[in-house]
Amino acid sequence: MAALEIFTGVIAVALILVLRGFALARSRGTVVCRVRDGAGGWKAGVARYVGGELHWIPFIGLRLRPRHAIARRGLTVSTRRRLTTGEGPDGYWMVDCSAERGPLSLAMSEDALTGFLAWLESAPPSAHLDAA
C-alpha cells in the first residue's frame, strides 16, 4: 500500500512539472531558449523580455522566478552561428555573449534570435556606456 502511495505522489509531481513546462512554453511574450554558462550542457527553458533584462526560467523546477536575469546594459554578442547536428536542436542558433556576470551562451530558433538581436539594438544610446 505504501508503494502505491509513493508511486502516486511521484506521478503527481511529474505531471505538475510537465504542466508547468507546457504553460511556460505557451505563455505570451516568451520564447523557448536554452542557456549554457561555463562548461556545462544546455539547459532548456523559456526567455522573457522584462524592461532592460532578459529573464530565463528553466522548464524543470518548481520556482516561477527566473534563474537568470541578464541585463541588456553591458551585454555584447561576440559570435553567433547555427548549431550543428548533435550539438543541439536542429535549426537553432547559438549566440555567445559577454555579460556583467560572465560569459554566457544562448541557443534559440532563428525567429527568436531575430527578436533577441532587435531587443539588444533597441537599447537607448546611453545604455552601452559605462557611468563613471
The torsion defined by the Cα of 119, 124, 129 and 132, in degrees rounded to 10, comes to -130
Mean pLDDT, rounded, for 108-125: 88
pLDDT tier at 86, thresholds 50, 70, 90:
confident
> 70-92: b or e for each residue (b if 16 or more CB lie within 10 Å)?
bebbebeeeeeeebeeeebeeeb
First and final C-alpha spacing in the chain: 67
| Residue 75 confidence (pLDDT) above 80 | yes
What is the per-residue pLDDT for 80? 93
Enter the pTM of the model: 0.74
Say yes or no: domain 2-128 is CATH 2.30.29.30: yes
- pLDDT tier at 93 (50, 70, 90 boundaries)? very high
Q: In the chain, what are the domain boundaries? A: 2-128
| Dihedral Cα 57, 58, 61, 63, nearest 10 deg | -10
- When pLDDT is cut at 50, 70 and 90, the band that residue 21 belongs to is low
